[in-house]
A and B are shown apart, each in its own frame.
Chain A
Amino acid sequence: MTPRYNFAFLDEDTKRMLRRALLKAVAIPGCQIPFGSREMPLPYGWGTGGIQVTAALLGPDDVLKVIDQGADDTTNAVNIRRFFARVAGIATTERTAEATLIQTRHRIPETPLREDQILVFQVPEPEPLRTLEARETETRTLHALADYGLMHVKLYEDIARYGRIATSYDYPVLVDGRYLTSPSPIPKFDNPKLDHSPALMLFGAGREKRIYAIPPYTRVESVAFEDHPFDVQQWDERCALCGSGESYLDEVVVDDRGTRMFVCSDTDFCSQRTEAQA
């Protein structure tokens, strides 16, 4: 632990500001709460929102897990885990079941979460309507009026053009029947895990300076149509390492002749299964 920093890097005023925003975010599920995002020792786009939320939560007894697209061993995940080990001296883990706090970039772990765990998402664009309406003043009004026709038109245009809803990640959800919310760029495969999750889920967008939350046991519906219901990705293949047929699979090119293999994106889930089989 580096003693020159306050515990978990941020100063106490900033943590209090984040904590007040987090409580409001939980009280108004799916609503984007503005917060004073600080400059962090890594650039926007590397999870500064998630890091600030984690810093506001973290205590000496926490065990932190960080994943990037499901993997514990990629650059972003390793950096953030080491950052908190240095500035907070906390324990870290790669095991989902051992963690009290999990910061994630674009996946929800395959292992079901528990009530005593908190999941923190890194969010690049918190506003699900942003690509459809550029003005913040307008999107605020649309949320105030719960006017989400724009999103339905977008999904309808997908159907008109491709015969199906083509959105496969960052698939918009309606939280507790009120706020249209971005689940962050998780694959739509993970959307069903948002619904009535036992764990609290917090979302931080550092560049956009917004925090929002999905409390546990909250109704989360993926936006769809009666005749084009929501569905998730499916694979004909199984994981080449652990043989899983129910996890989210990444397609990996393994040589320069274009040979491919499918492996679990959740490295902890995959290695636990591989170990159990060995």
Chain B
Amino acid sequence: MLAAFANPVFDSQRTFRELLQAMARPAVPRALPVLPPAPESVAPAAMAILLTLCDAATALWLQQPVGNALEHLRFHTGLRVAQTAKEADFALITAPDAMPSLQSFAQGELRYPDRSTSLIVQVQGFRNEAGVCVAGPGIRDQEMLHIEGLPADFWTQRAALAESFPLGIDMFFVAEQHVLALPRTTRLLEH
């Protein structure tokens, strides 16, 4: 049995502040302050996010429920497991090239657009050069963004989703120690 945060109160607080700033300043990577131990299939950065945000009130959907990942998460957070992606508050994507379409996750309701799935996507890496050009709330001018290992039609799907705003999906991408957020408001620019 692996441990979780060594100091749950302060580790989750520091992680949350980085997540909040990541969500407030989309497409810009931020370093997570604490990387907890994690089972093989789960990246430590993804584990830090799950330990910070999940508890008995949230349902998690795992793309690959392999090994003891589920047991570990249940033990440390008490979270529920969502049977389908649509029911999930959070979804952990461990193989992004084979991830289900964005349409298969909850997009929220027009009166309550917050009732949507938040995605945590483990990727190889990301950088702010080449790739797509994005703008929107939290981005002063615009940012270039390249995320490795996403399905070929990911940005097409994402652009289609943007049309149903305020419905949508908010995403955290993690690679090694870094997290990068892509909320539903971030728009793809033609380039």
Contacts and interface: CB of A to CB of B under 8 A. Distances in A.
Contact of B138 (A15, A178, A218): A218
Given A21-B114, A23-B20, A218 B137 contact: yes
B4 to A, nearest CB: 12
A12 B9 contact: yes
A179 B91 CA distance: 27
A26 B138 CA distance: 9
Contacts, number: 107
A215 B184 CA distance: 13
A13 B170 contact: no
Interface in A188-229: 196, 200, 213, 215-219
Interface residues of A, number: 42
Interface residues of B, number: 39
Interface in A1-42: 6-7, 12-13, 15-17, 19-29, 31, 33-34
Contacts of A24: 114, 116, 170
Interface stretch (A55-63, A122-130, A254-262): A55-63
A144 interface: yes
B131 interface: no
Interface in A40-95: 56-60
A227 B21 CA distance: 39
Interface in B1-40: 8-10, 12-14, 16-17, 19-21, 23-25
A27 B183 contact: yes
Given A6-B9, A33-B114, A178-B165, A23 B14 contact: no
Nearest to B90: A20
Give the one of B16, B58, B111, B137 with max A CB within 10 A. B137
Contacts of B25: 215-216
B10 A200 contact: no
Contact of A23 (B10, B118, B136, B140): B118
B98 interface: no
A199 B14 CA distance: 18
Given A28-B114, A57-B16, 7 more contacts: A23-B19, A26-B23, A60-B10, A144-B111, A179-B166, A213-B24, A215-B24
Interface of B: 8-10, 12-14, 16-17, 19-21, 23-25, 52-55, 57-58, 89, 110-114, 116, 118, 136-140, 165-166, 170, 183-185
26 contacts: A16-B12, A16-B52, A16-B54, A16-B55, A19-B20, A23-B23, A23-B53, A24-B114, A24-B170, A26-B24, A26-B138, A27-B183, A31-B113, A57-B20, A58-B13, A60-B10, A140-B111, A141-B111, A176-B137, A178-B165, A200-B21, A213-B24, A215-B23, A215-B25, A216-B138, A217-B139
Interface of A: 6-7, 12-13, 15-17, 19-29, 31, 33-34, 56-60, 140-141, 143-145, 176, 178-179, 196, 200, 213, 215-219
